Amino acid sequence: MAEAAVAWWEETQAWEDRKHSISEAIMLLVMRKMDKDFLSGLSEAERAAKLKKAKEEEMRLVKILNQHLHAPVKMPDFSCMTESERTVAAERLREKEQERAHLLRAQGRPYIGPEKIVSLLDFDPKQGGLYYNRYAFVDLQTFDLDEECKLLAEYWWHSCSAAESLILTGPKRGLALLGDIYAEIDLKIKDHLGQHRELSKGIFIIRGLAGRSLTESMVETESLATRLSTVDVTYSVIKHALEGTIAFDVLQGGFHGKITVYTSSVDDELVLYDSEDADALIVDDSGKIQLMRPVVSVNVTDLVTIVARTRDGISETIVFTPRVNRGENDILTVGATKMRVNVFWSAMDP
């Protein structure tokens, strides 16, 4: 199967090279026609004949290019490929891509930082064959992926089954949706020998404002299908957003349970704290609870409802109204536990 993957890759690269050569020939012809010496020294009839011939050649090349683009290389059926075969295929293809990168650079064709960018390549039939499993659309010689991406989100490691949600511990701030946002997924599982194995690795795109018409706040889901799993990522896109930073101080008793939040425009609950997953109840002697995520983005007209549920089933809610650049607090009593809830509102895009 690895040899079949390499053969498919070589055929695909030959197709890409053919496309490049045709496109380059068209560009050279267009540039020649723009050259001031192209028609120099010719009579009117000779100019007309030369321009006609150049136009006919350009149209011929464009027709060939269109035919080429409508006949792409089809990927073989790799659905029966085993994980070990896929691993071998991925390594072979990275080697081939490395060789190609150096060849293209020697020919003067752009290929920035082949050593770094090739390391991000992976092979997965569900991703259409060869794909980048991390963000690769920048100059990786100067852009540090680990430094730029490590602050976006991380996860509590815990035992979970299919269709069970993972609890995010980030982002720590709301993400301004000016341009496209590229989100990376890198999930691993622990096998029976205690070794970490890759479960899902890749990227998905949250389209920015230029690529969408946002008339109201909405919940969206993106899926990343890889060889061992399909991960659904659900997020809210908030129109006219404010950012609320939330903190809890336990004034009396001890809290054992879950704290969630939802808004009047997005009723999906976000988990702020879960004592079973957090592995911590109170951070310090002052009674401050360490929330998994202390920030929520809301519409300026939303009502924000915070729900505290104890392990024994007692539930209480508290409601806040967003106020730009202002802080507020209120008391929430759940059973024998008394807590002060502090919220500070700030504009995300003032």
Q: How far is Cα 5 from Cα 90, in angstroms, rounded to an integer?
A: 9
Task: State yes or no: pLDDT of 106 exceeds 70.
Answer: yes
The confidence score (pLDDT) of residue 210 equals: 81
> Which residues, in sequence order, are bridge partners of residue 244?
296, 345
Rounded to the nearest integer, the mean pLDDT of the chain is 83
Tokens coding 10: 């070589």
Across residues 58-80, what is the average pLDDT? 91
The confidence score (pLDDT) of residue 100 equals: 83
Task: State yes or no: pLDDT of 157 exceeds 50.
Answer: no
Q: Which amino acid is residue 225, in one-letter code?
A: A
Which range scores top for mean pLDDT: 25-34, 101-110, 193-202?
A: 25-34
Q: Which residues contact 195 (CB under 8 A, 6 or more apart)?
A: none
Show the CA angle centred on residue 227, arms to residues 222 and 232, nearest 5°.
20
Q: Give the tens place of pLDDT for each residue, 288-336.
A: 888 888 888 899 999 999 999 998 889 999 999 998 888 899 999 998 8
Q: Scanning the structure block, which residue is given the tokens 């702020």?
A: 272
Task: State yes or no: pLDDT of 140 exceeds 90.
Answer: no
Across residues 94-121, what is the average pLDDT? 76
Task: State yes or no: pLDDT of 10 exceeds 80.
Answer: yes
Cα-based distances in Å from 317 to 65, 260, 281, 310, 314? 63, 10, 20, 12, 11
Q: Is the pTM for the entire model greater than 0.85? A: no
The confidence score (pLDDT) of residue 350 equals: 42
The confidence score (pLDDT) of residue 114 equals: 57
Q: How far is Cα 62 from Cα 56, in angstroms, rounded to an integer?
A: 10
Nearest to 276 by CA among 253, 292, 288, 252: 292
> In this structure, what are the phi and psi dihedrals at residue 122, rounded to the nearest 5 degrees?
-145, 170
The confidence score (pLDDT) of residue 293 equals: 83
Check: CB of residue 181 under 8 Å from CB of residue 205: yes
Q: How far is Cα 224 from Cα 204, in angstroms, rounded to an integer?
A: 7
The confidence score (pLDDT) of residue 287 equals: 80
Domains and CATH numbers, the chain: 2-123 (no CATH), 175-237 (no CATH), 241-347 (2.60.40.150)
Our measurement of the distance from residue 188's CA atom to the centroid of its chain's CA atoms, rounded to an integer in Å, reads 17
Q: Which amino acid is residue 204, in one-letter code?
A: F
Per-position DSSP letters for 270-290, written without gaps between them: EEEEEHHHHS-S-SSTT-EE-
The confidence score (pLDDT) of residue 259 equals: 93
Check: CB of residue 19 under 8 Å from CB of residue 27: no
pLDDT band at 167 (very low <50, low <70, confident <90, very high): low
Task: State yes or no: pLDDT of 158 exceeds 50.
Answer: no
| Weakest-pLDDT range from 137-141, 224-228, 253-257 | 137-141
User: Coil, strand or helix: which one is 304?
Assistant: strand
Report the length, in residues, of the chain.
350
Across residues 2-21, what is the average pLDDT? 91
pLDDT band at 164 (very low <50, low <70, confident <90, very high): low
Q: Residues 130-139: contacts with CB within 8 Å, 24+ apart?
A: 130/9, 130/93, 130/97, 131/202, 132/203, 133/201, 133/202, 133/203, 134/184, 134/203, 135/182, 135/184, 135/203, 137/182, 139/112, 139/113
